[in-house]
Chains A and B, each alone.
Chain A
Amino acid sequence: MSRYKPVVGVSEGITLLFIFISSKVFLAHITFILHDGMNASWVIPFINTFTGLLGVLLLVAVLDRHPGKDLVEIGDELAGPYINTLFALYYLVVLVSGAGFALRFISERVVAGFLTDTPISMVTLSFLAGTVVVAYLGLEAVARTARFLVGVLVVSTLALVVLTIPFWQWHVFYPLLGWGAWEVLQGALTTTGNYVQILLLGIIYPFLPRGKARLVGVWGVLIAGFFFTLMVLVPLLIFTYPTISEMTLPTFEMARIISIGRFGQRMEVVFLPIWVFANMIFITASLYGGAAVLARLCKLGDYRPFVPAVTVFTTVAAFIPQNVSQASYWNHDYLTRYSFYVLVVILLGLRLAARLKGGRGAENDQGV
Chain B
Amino acid sequence: MTRVFSVVLLLAAVLVLGGCYDYSEPDEKAWILALGLDKGKQNVLTVTAVIAIPKGIAGGGGGEPAAGGGGGGKFFTVSLEAPTLLSSLELLDAVVDRRADMSHIKWLVFSRALAEEGIGRYFGPITRFHQFRRSTHLVVCEGRAEDFLKQGKPILEDNVGKYYELLMRGWRYTEFIPFDTFHFLYQKSNTPGVEPVAPLAALNRKEPVYRNDTPKPKGAYQAGRLPRKGGGEIEIMGGAVFSKGRMVGTLDGDQVGVQKMFFGNLRRTIVDVPDPEHPGFYVIVDVHPRYTPRVDVRIGEDGLPEIAVRVALEGSIMSIQSGEDYESPERLPVLEKAVAEAYLTDINKTVAKSQALGADFLGFGLHAKKLFLTWPQWVAYDWDAKYPDATVTVSVDFRVRRVGLIHKTEPLR
Contacts and interface: CB of A to CB of B under 8 A. Distances in A.
B287 to A, nearest CB: 23
A242 interface: yes
Interface in B10-50: 13, 16-17, 19, 21-22
Nearest to B161: A262
Interface stretch (B63-71, B207-215, B340-348, B367-375): B367-375
Contacts of A38: 375
B19 A262 contact: no
Given A38-B375, A257-B133, A259-B135, A175 B22 contact: no
Contact of B130 (A116, A126, A240): A116
A46 interface: no
A113 B133 CA distance: 12
B183 interface: yes
Kindly state the interface size class of chain B when it binds its partner: 20 to 34
A125 B21 CA distance: 14
B369 A174 contact: yes
Contacts of B19: 115, 118
A180 B374 contact: yes
A272 B330 CA distance: 61
B377 interface: yes
Nearest to A238: B183
B110 interface: no
Interface string A169-199: 0010011111110000000000000000000
Contact of A242 (B134, B190, B373, B377): B190
Nearest to A118: B21
Contacts of A242: 190-191
A258 to B, nearest CB: 8
B328 interface: no
A167 interface: yes
A5 interface: no
A155 B378 CA distance: 38
A251 to B, nearest CB: 14
Contacts of B369: 171, 174-175
A265 interface: yes
Nearest to A252: B130
Interface string A80-119: 0000000000000000000000000000000011111111
B17 A243 contact: no
A240 B189 CA distance: 12
Contact of A115 (B22, B372, B376): B22
A253 B134 contact: yes
Contacts of A303: none
A175 B373 contact: yes
Interface string B377-390: 11000000000000
A5 to B, nearest CB: 24
B117 interface: no
A227 B112 CA distance: 44
B135 A265 contact: yes
A257 B22 contact: no
A176 B374 CA distance: 6
B372 A175 contact: yes
A246 interface: yes
Nearest to A180: B374
Contacts of A246: 127, 190
Contacts of A175: 369-370, 372-375, 377-378
Contact of B135 (A179, A240, A241, A257): A257
Interface string B342-367: 00000000000000000000000011
A342 to B, nearest CB: 32
B134 A116 contact: no
A176 B165 CA distance: 38
A277 B16 CA distance: 18
A355 interface: no
Nearest to B16: A126
Contacts of B190: 242-243, 246
Contacts of B135: 256-257, 259, 265
A23 B130 CA distance: 23
Contact of A39 (B130, B183, B375): B375
Contacts of A253: 134
A39 B21 CA distance: 40
Contacts of A165: none
B377 to A, nearest CB: 7
Contacts of A167: 183
A345 interface: no
B187 interface: yes
Interface in A235-268: 239-243, 246, 253, 256-257, 259, 262, 265-266
B158 to A, nearest CB: 14
A178 B367 CA distance: 15
Identify which of B13, B372, B374 gathers the most chain A CB atoms within 10 Å of its CB. B374
A158 interface: no
A174 B187 contact: no
Identify which of B13, B134, B135, B375 gathers the most chain A CB atoms within 10 Å of its CB. B375
B126 to A, nearest CB: 12
Contacts of A125: 16
B197 to A, nearest CB: 16
B183 A174 contact: no
B242 interface: no
A122 interface: yes
B162 interface: yes
A39 B191 CA distance: 11
Contact of B366 (A113, A122, A171, A177): A171
A116 to B, nearest CB: 6
28 contacts: A39-B375, A113-B130, A117-B21, A122-B16, A122-B21, A125-B16, A126-B16, A171-B367, A171-B369, A174-B366, A174-B378, A175-B373, A175-B375, A175-B377, A176-B373, A177-B373, A178-B374, A178-B375, A180-B374, A239-B183, A243-B187, A243-B190, A243-B191, A246-B127, A246-B190, A256-B135, A266-B104, A266-B133
Given A129-B16, A265-B133, 17 more contacts: A39-B375, A114-B22, A119-B21, A125-B16, A126-B13, A174-B372, A175-B370, A175-B374, A179-B375, A240-B187, A241-B191, A241-B375, A243-B186, A243-B191, A257-B183, A262-B162, A266-B103
Interface of A: 38-39, 112-119, 122, 125-126, 129, 167, 171, 174-180, 239-243, 246, 253, 256-257, 259, 262, 265-266
